[in-house]
Structure 1
C-alpha cells in the first residue's frame, strides 16, 4: 500500500510504541488519527504531526461503540487501522485487583476486535484497507505473573489468524505484530512482581530475547503495511518460537486452499 495521503488510525498513540508509530507513519506521508486517554500529550503530538486527536478510554465499551464512524465523519475514511493500545497485568493472578481481568481483556482483546468489526465494511466499500494488530511474544511464552496479559495477547494473535481467513479474497490486508521486550513503561511493570522479574532475567540470560527499540518496531510496521506482509516478529530470535505456534494455523490455511470463499455483498 502506498502510504502517501492515506489516513492511519493508531490507538494508544500518546506515548511509547504508539507515539513512535505515529511519527513513523506521518514521516511516510500518511495522515494520522490518534486515539488515547491522555488528552494534552495526545493533542500536542497530533498538532506536531499535522494529524487529529480523539481522546477516549478504549477499556470503556460505551466509548468504543461507534468510534470508527465518529472519526471518519470528522476527518475522512480510515485506510489503515493499527490496534496498538494495551495495558499490562503483572501480579499473582489470584491477588490481582477485582476488575483487572475484565479491563485487560477489554482493552487488549475485545476493543481491537470491535474496531476491526467497525472498520472493515468501509474498507470494503472503498475497495481496500489494512489492519495491524499489535500482539506479543507473551502470547506464546507463559511467564509467572503474566497469566491475564498473556492470555489476552494469545487471543488477539489467534483472532488475527481467523480474521485473515475471513477476509481471504477481499482487498484487505492484515499484519500481526508479535513483540518481545520493548523498553517502555509497560515493560518496567515487570519489576513489580518478583517471579516475573526473575523470569525475565532468566530469559535474557539464556539469550532467548533482547530488548528492541520502539523506533525499530515502528519502521518495521510501516514496511509491513507498505509491502502487505502478514507478520512482524521482533526480536528476530523469537521467530522460531512464533513459527511453531503459527504452524497449525498455517497448516489449516493450506488445507483449505481452493475452498470457495463467499464474498461480502
Structure 2
C-alpha cells in the first residue's frame, strides 16, 4: 500500500508504542489520526506529526460505538486502522479488582473488534484499506499474574486470524503484530508483581526473549502495511512460539481452499 497521504487511525497514541507508530507513519507520508485519553499529550503529538487528535476512552463502550464515524467526520476517511491501545492486569486472578476483567477485555479485545466492525464496510465502499492489531506473545504463552491480560490478547490474535479468513479475496488486508517485551510503562507495571517479574527474568535468561525498542516495532508495522504482510513478530527469537500457534490456522486455510469466504449477495 502506498502510504503517502493515507490517513491512519492509531489508538493508544499518546505515549509508548503508539507515539512511535504516529511518528513512523508520519515520516512515511501518512496522516495520523490519534486516539487516547490524554488530551494534552495527544494534541502535542498531533501537532508534531501533522495529524489530528481525537480524545476518547476505549473502556467506554458508548464512546467506542461512534468513534469511527466521529473521526471521519472530523478528519476524513480512514485508510488504515491500528488498534494499539492496551492495558495490563498483573495480579493473581482471584485477587484482582472486581471490574478488572471487564475493563481489560473491553480495551484489549472488544474495542478493537468493534472498531474493525465499524471501519471495514467504510473501507470496502472506498475500495480498500488495512487493519493492524497489536497483540502480544502473552496471548500465546502463559505467565503467572497475567491471566486476564493474556486471555484478552489471545482473543485479539485469534480474532485477527478469523478476520483475515472472512476478508479473503476482498481489498481490506490485516496484519497481526505479536510482541515480546517492549520497554514501556505497561511493561514496567508488570514487574510490580513478583511471580510475573521472575517469570520474565527466567525467559530472558534462557534467551527466548529480549527487549525490542518501540521504534523498531513502529518501523516493522509501517513496513508491514506498505508490503501488506500478515504478521510482525518481535523479537525474532520468539517466532517459533507464534509459528506453532499459527500452524492450525494455516492448515485450515489450505483445507478450505475453494470454499467461498463471503456469501453471495
TM-score (norm 2): 0.99
Q: Which residue of 2 aligns with 1:86?
A: 86
SS at match of 2:170: coil
Aligned length: 265
Is 2:112 aligned against 1:112?
yes
* 1:178 partnered with 2:178: yes
Query: What residue number does 2:195 align with?
Result: 195
Question: Does structure 2 conserve the Cα–Cα contact (< 8 Å) formed by 1:137 and 1:242?
Answer: yes
- Secondary structure at 2:54's aligned position in 1? strand
Q: Does 1:32 align with 2:32?
A: yes
Return the alpha-carbon distance in structure 2 between the equivalents of residues 216 and 83 of structure 1. Answer: 17
SS at match of 1:55: coil
Give the corresponding residue for 1:223: 223
Equivalent-residue separation in structure 2 for 1:108 and 1:261 (angstroms): 27
Structure 2 Cα separation of the partners of residues 264 and 211 of structure 1: 47
Distance across 2 between alignment mates of 1:95 and 1:264: 49
Q: In the alignment, is the contact (CA less than 8 A) between 1:170 and 1:263 conserved in 2?
A: no
Q: Return the TM-score normalized by structure 1.
A: 0.99
How far apart, in 2, do the equivalents of 1:261 and 1:221 lie? 26
Deviations 1:126-157, CA, capped at 9 Å, x for gaps = 11000000000000110000000000000000
Which residue does the alignment assign to 2:258? Answer: 258
CA distance in 1, matches of 2:141, 2:260: 35
Offset, 1:264? 7.3
Equivalent-residue separation in structure 1 for 2:226 and 2:245 (angstroms): 25
| 3-state SS of paired residue (1:258) | coil
Alpha-carbon shift at residue 118 of structure 1 (Å): 0.2
Question: 1:100 and 2:111 equivalent?
Answer: no
CA contact under 8 A between 1:7 and 1:80: conserved in structure 2?
Answer: yes
- CA drift of 1:75 comes to 1.2
For the aligned residues, what is the CA RMSD? 0.8
| Secondary structure of 1:73's aligned partner | helix
Q: 4+ residue runs of structure 1 moved beyond 3 angstroms? A: none
Whether 2:234 is the aligned partner of 1:234: answer yes
Quote how far apart the aligned CAs of 1:82 are: 0.1
Per mean C-alpha deviation after superposition, the further-off stretch among 247-256 and 105-114 is: 247-256
Provide closer, same or farther for how the CA distance between residues 264 and 16 of structure 1 changes in structure 2, counting only shifts above 3 A: farther
Per-residue deviation, residues 198-224 of structure 1 (Å, max 9, x unmatched): 101101111110000000000000000
Cα distance in structure 2, aligned partners of 1:139 and 1:188: 18
SS of residue paired to 2:53: strand
1:7 corresponds in structure 2 to 7
> How much does 1:261 deviate?
2.7
Residue 205 of structure 1 corresponds to 205
* Unpaired segments ≥5 residues, structure 2: none
Where structure 1 has 5 or more consecutive residues not aligned to the other structure, the ranges are none
CA spacing shift, 1:264–1:175, aligned 2, 3 Å: farther
Residues of 2 paired with 1:225 and 1:262: CA distance?
A: 24
Change (3 A) 1:97 1:219: same
